[in-house]
Amino acid sequence: MKVEIKFLKNEDRENLREIIENETDTFLKEKGINHEAVVSFIFVSESEIKDLNQKYRKIDQPTDVLSFPIWENEAAIPKKGIVNLGDVFIFENRVLENAKQSNKSFEEELRFIVHHCLNHLIGKHH
């Protein structure tokens, strides 16, 4: 498994990196997904997430997270070789706001978001 993570201003946020990598590893193992899977998590600004939301969902406002899967559903994901599952864009400030509104820690909300997005990347939607 390879998790690519890009933070705003190329800062290294080891605590967030660890949460994302652990949650992704656990999720992929539980789902029996290829151990050579690649997932990218990109932290973006409010204006970047708003632009992406407008372009791809026609919603002119920022959101907490957007997932862009490569595969239509879990059955389409190759069982062998290096497999890119897709990209996840995260607006950290909105995740923090959601955590406060839900009386959760930021770390709990981030785990929830990562798990939720990984489900989208394998074709499971709500």
- Judge whether residue 11 has pLDDT over 70: no
Q: Span 13-39, mean pLDDT?
A: 89
How much is the average pLDDT of 91-99? Answer: 95
Predicted TM-score of the model (pTM): 0.90
Contact 78, 34 (CB under 8 A): yes
Give CA–CA dist 94/28, Å, rounded.
26
Looking at per-residue confidence, does 10 or 65 come out higher? 65
Write down the pLDDT at residue 10.
60
Report the pLDDT value the prediction gives residue 32, as an integer from 0 to 100: 87
Give pLDDT, residue 89.
96
Tokens for 47? Answer: 């204006």
What CATH class is the domain 2-121? alpha beta
